[in-house]
Amino acid sequence: MSDPSTVREELRRRIADFLAAHDPATTERSAFLRARYDAGLAWVFFPEGHGGLGLPRALQPEVDRLFESAGAPDNNREVNGIGLGMAAPTILAFGTEEQKRRFLRPLWTGEEVWCQLFSEPGAGSDLAAVATRAVRQGETWVVNGQKVWTSVAHNARFAILVARTNPDVPKHAGLTYFLCDMTDPGVDVRPLRQITGEAEFNEVFLTDVRIPDTHRLGAEGEGWKVATATLNNERVAIGDAAAPREGGMVGVVARTWREHPERRTAELHDRLLRLWVDAEVARLTGQRLRQKLALGQPGPAGSTMKLTFARLNQQLSGLELELLGEDGLRYSDWTMVRPERVDFTGRDAGYRYLRAKGNSIEGGTSEILRTIVAERVLGLPAEPRVDKDIPWKELQK
């Protein structure tokens, strides 16, 4: 095995040589990002030929810092979070070589934004109960159904999609996973207006959408296995964003505390300190989780990070309103817009308070995540599941 210090030094040399040949100040943005991908400096922990060098995942933050300090363009991480955090690792794990070559490069460069067609009106937390049907016709699948709570579907080119391909077997066994072109005929995206006034989420209607079998990810009937890997990646992506000490929401609230001494009370001070400690524990736990990820695939422990993220965001945004008093009740803009990304720290306190309410729903409800932690992390007895061995078509709808 190569010496870690030698590997790191060689990686730094590669980056320096790349920057010398592709000056960020003079190279067109898309050309720069494509060249970075082709040089294996996109995801360095991905295999060679797919944006990486097959190096340890722990080196990725240093790579990103070196490019950022050089003034290199980013790849729309905030806009394409679903693609980068969920679709890409799933395609890498389950995709064919042809699928990896087709999708990973434009996904990483941000040229193709992705969304997630999982939840349905009758199957939100119980993803295995999805009713959207995919029927095979030769080398094509015809898909009909409705999806809901789909973030950035209005901007997405592709979607990861779970559909039912066999209603005659138990619900977990009859699912198949697809890559859906959102520009195809029959895909209808409609906005869902939220409590914030915006329509960041959507509902998506699929009517006779034709998906080639070459866009099936994984084997027919193994959609649950592929979807589970995607959901593990999602929960890690939501709850495990690297942040400095006092970064994110706790930093916003701490700044508000310092700027408004007239609002300070002993009770609010005690609550802020407790939440600050919780946020720091979560940050350090996230570092440990990233170290584990560097050694393999994400596991159920990512659910604990997502749970903590939701709780802290909601408690901190509520504390911020109390610190601001009547000023916290102001809401700057109720215009119905369809944003590309969520911006917690760049908006006012009213927005943060309202938007944080969705944190315990999106990416898996907190109730479902507690069940996952209880059963798969703590090893507690599983809840009784009377529908596990019954064919899906016989279940009460």
% pLDDT > 70, the chain: 94
Contacts of 47 by beta carbon, 8 Å cutoff, 6+ apart: 54, 92
Residue 353 has pLDDT above 70, yes or no: yes
Paired sense of beta strands 187-192 and 114-117, if any: unpaired
Mean pLDDT of 347-354: 89
Mean pLDDT of the chain: 90
Residue 141 has pLDDT above 90, yes or no: yes
- Least reliable range by pLDDT among 37-41, 162-166, 306-310, 386-390: 386-390
CA separation for the pair 233, 299 (Å, rounded)? 8
E-strand spans in 235-393?
none
Mean pLDDT of 241-258: 86
Domains of the chain, with CATH numbers? 7-74 (no CATH), 227-377 (1.20.140.10)
CA separation for the pair 17, 32 (Å, rounded)? 14
% pLDDT > 90, the chain: 64
The letter for the amino acid at 98 is E
- Tokens 């979807």 -> residue: 227
Mean pLDDT of 68-85: 92
Residue 239 has pLDDT above 80, yes or no: no
Mean pLDDT of 356-362: 89
CA separation for the pair 90, 250 (Å, rounded)? 32
Residue 30 has pLDDT above 80, yes or no: yes
Predicted local distance difference test score (pLDDT) of residue 328? 86
Mean pLDDT of 200-221: 97
CA separation for the pair 116, 362 (Å, rounded)? 12
What DSSP designation does 202 have? E
- Least reliable range by pLDDT among 183-187, 258-262, 334-338, 374-378: 334-338
> Model-level pTM?
0.86
Known catalytic residue at 234: yes
- Least reliable range by pLDDT among 232-236, 365-369, 373-377, 393-397: 232-236
- Tokens 């040089």 -> residue: 39
Count other Cβ atoms within 10 Å, centred on residue 22.
18
Among residues 220, 234, 259, 383, the one annotated as catalytic is 234
Mean pLDDT of 38-61: 94
Predicted local distance difference test score (pLDDT) of residue 118? 95
